[in-house]
Structure 1
Amino acid sequence: MEPKNVPTNEQYGTTSSLQRQQSPGSRRKNRGGVIGGRYRILRIIGEGGMGIVYAAEDLRLGGMIRAVKIGVSGNSREGLGEEAATLMRLNHPHLPQLLDYCPAQGNEDIEALVMDYFEGITGIEAVRSGGLEQELVLDIGLQLCDALSYLHEQPVPVIHRDLKPSNILIGEGGHVKLIDFGISRLFREGQAHDTVMLGTAGFASPEQRQGEQSDARSDVYGLGALLYFLASGGGMIGGSSRREQLRLLAKLEGRFSAEARQLLGDMLEPDRSRRHQSMRRVREAMLQCGGQQAGMKRNYGASVSLRRGRPKWISVLSLTPGAGATTLSLTLAWMLAREGRTTTAVECAGPVSEWSELLPDCWERQSDLDQGIYRGRLNPAKKVANVQLLSLSGQSSGNVNPRTSLFGTALREAEGDCVIADLSSEWDGDAFGEMLTRSSLVLAVGDPSLSKWQIPKLLKLAELREQLEKEGRHLRWIANKDLKFRGRQEWLSSFPAKPLAVVPLLPARDVLDTLWRGRWLPEHPGLGRELGKAFRPIVGEVLNL
């Protein structure tokens, strides 16, 4: 099923609320800025009228990544104090965990919530390729039912009031988190109206749109609209007439059972007295429709890629120092850019960045030098400009392992379709184990210097290859610096498997001439032809990930 006009995260962000908020531009923080003397801003991960959410590095805890939401204090509609007061009372696996609250200080009018960082995709990203199957929609629904039941059954019930695709995150294994409590409210018995009419068009219940008091049944309606969005591949049903709702639900026939369609219809009843009256009742109905009990193993592989919208990670390593991982990494980034792929190339540098010397004209002047991070663009003056460069110098002002925290930071900052991480010959250190095991593709580069090859490293790569293959990922061998010599066939047959590509030894004069001109190797006509031919199978492998 192909999605039709699937909205973007921006279209379904909190800025689409019924009552729009003041522009958050005044809250925007530059990368590298520090909040509360502790949290260094890395990048924006969410934005809307109720606040901006950043990925931030916790400087006191070894560079651990946190989610930091920033809002304006002293404004009853946007202040985060009430949201913090709500979150601090909650503890549930499907809800964000509040770790810290930074109130406004001095002349600053901003305040911040600090929460655990959860890697995942939004409900919008989950339906990029079409609607989800019934099993997965019910699985997501059951997890959200658990979270909402927990909220509604608090001593003073908490009503979320803003259930929509951009407010759920789906992580590895299908674990779901319900986020953004910016317009949640405590239920006040006997109150006829909410203080402020808020919600998101297409998901807000009729009583919310009419300014009446919202209650647990309002969230039942919002959840029904959200689950229909996931089932239909981006369709909007909330706010439709009852006749139109039934027509839209009928379109799910063939993919969703009559019982599942009936459940969604019951949740979307315009008259709240005719809906399911609690999330517990909704959960029971989902189980009767075939939903799995919480805690059962989930398999989202074929139906929804949890990496969709996230860059593919390609790790490049050398069997021996100087085998050519750096040349291969930068050239592959260039080749992918020519194919229209936006790529981030990351150097895992030693004490001094090699890339910053190799490509001196490609780097931003305003880089986080105090954190050992250089940023740039590969040949920014050329048409091939969609390659972001990140180089880590390995220097840090803290007492933590700099490579562990900085490398993780760089990967979380990465832009585009692919991340190409140059691990060079230092890949077997503890700092890079996680990166290797999480890579979509590992490229192991070997040159003809067989005397430098080490059996323990080859065995370690064999174990890594076996682990990756079990998860549908791959390790490929690259033979670099190929030329005609007596032992050539013996060298090529020494790789544990047939090399994916054989890259020729490039003429030193042409290489040096190109680099001294401040250009990268494919810009040289002769080198470009040779590299283009040799890299064809590597580029094809990456494009097929």
Structure 2
Amino acid sequence: MEWRSRIAVGDCLAGRYRVTARIGSGGMSQVYAAEDMKLPGKRWAVKECDLHRIHPQRLQAEAELLMRLSHPNLPHIVDYVPPDERGFGYIVMEYVDGRTLQQVVEEDGAMSWPAAVSIALQLCEAFGYLHGVSPQPIIYRDLKPANVMLGDSGNVKLIDFGIARTYRSDCDADTLQLGTAGFAAPEQYEGGQTDARTDLFALGALLHYLLSGGGRLEAGAAPQPLYRAEVPDALVQAIRRLTRTLPSQRPQSAAATKQLLEQALAGEDASDEALKLRPGKTSAERRLIVVGGLYAGAGATFCALAIAAALRRRSVPHALLEFPTAEPELYHLLYGDRYAPKQYRFAATAALQQAPYRNRWTNGSTEWLPLPPDRPLREEWNDGLTYKLLHLAQQPVVVADLSHCWCDPLAAELCRAADELIVVADPFPSRWTKPSTRRNAEAIDKLRAEGKPVRYVANRETPFGQRREWLDLFPVQPSVLLPVIPPEQMAAESWQGKPGSIWQHVALQEQLEPLLDKLLPAAWRSGSGDPAHRSARRWWKTRLSKNIAAKQPERG
């Protein structure tokens, strides 16, 4: 039946939203771009639904569903226009610049496997949120390329909740069997109950679509022949696990799926036996802490090193990672020429070259991952490599030094993956007023608005006349006041080549203790005496000893 739209370009909806273009269509709705007449320059996406084609309550149910959700990978709804006398209703939501995954594949062909995995990992985050909604989990049920927007900055959004449902464990079957051929799980057609594993089947089918350049995968199909040669076998095996016919044979949660994909990204075995090596342990138990300066010279690297020293005092296994947006300095600060292992291969280089990562550089419970000082990697880096590098760390806590590069496009993926964001600033007013500082502050505020926890550190704190005015400049009260270390002490220890002694200064460590209690999972807070802490340490030590990168062949 031909669509009978009740609005056209130029129309004004609800006296506020002027339609500027039609941007999408489906069997049960049309989507338009509209400008806000009350907020000049603001654009929205308007979804028009014909209630003659769908269940009368479904539009209102979708609007009410979206209103109570808040996640970076889900659309924000801003208005709902109830159905008129002709049976047409409207949902107004945020406008996402970008293309659907269907458009991406149709215009560009098969996607590179790191980019596809990056998208899938973001969808895992979204599904983890939806499946964890209380009191009843939300099952999306219609994951397909046309329902996923890829923003210009690489962020992913699910854009259609028309057939999502709340999961009820007391039901044996869904009221309606809906979905899209080639992406819907078998239970959607066989009268079974859909649950979290239904969405995970569709995620595997979506990966197949992206990697094969548009192929649709039914349960039991063998995907390997349709892929480019460089697609790792571990990723192929992960797709096969996700798209198994029986839900009980698939990964059982979004967290388990994320772990499976991270293993594939790192070149690990994605078989059932490999997954048994991680009973009860998922990436959700890890912590990624991103540390960055509000501006250059604020002391982000100093703060990151001090946090690493505090973690080492608690015997918490962790990694300090220098991200490729930064200007390399960690290797020299640690006197790498003297202390790095012989034939040390930088983790970032191993990730870039798809090469083995051996001879890890450790100091007690700390693993160092500096950038190579003589080879800038910024121009060669991409989001897929970010996930590879994070996985190579193989530690339950990873501290990433972002320098002051909050506005760098590469930083977006790192910050999206982070559990905590630490922003460092010092008391020198000239640095607070620079245009680059304002841009960084806006980027950080946007991350905070998207739900990322942001904490501030006041560095080089010392008594002076305008101290109160300085602290009032912070958007929120700083979580930590790091004192000034006497310059004569810093100079002496630097010339003596004693890496770590400065950051272990007792005054720094005393200030950082309360922050660590906020940053760490409960099982890690009480130190090595805690049984759960000891168990986690033993498990991670076992993982480190297996040297997963040894499975990958040398290249070049």
TM range (shorter): 0.3 to 0.5
TM-score by length of 1: 0.48
Q: TM-score, normalised by structure 2?
A: 0.47
Larger Rg: 1
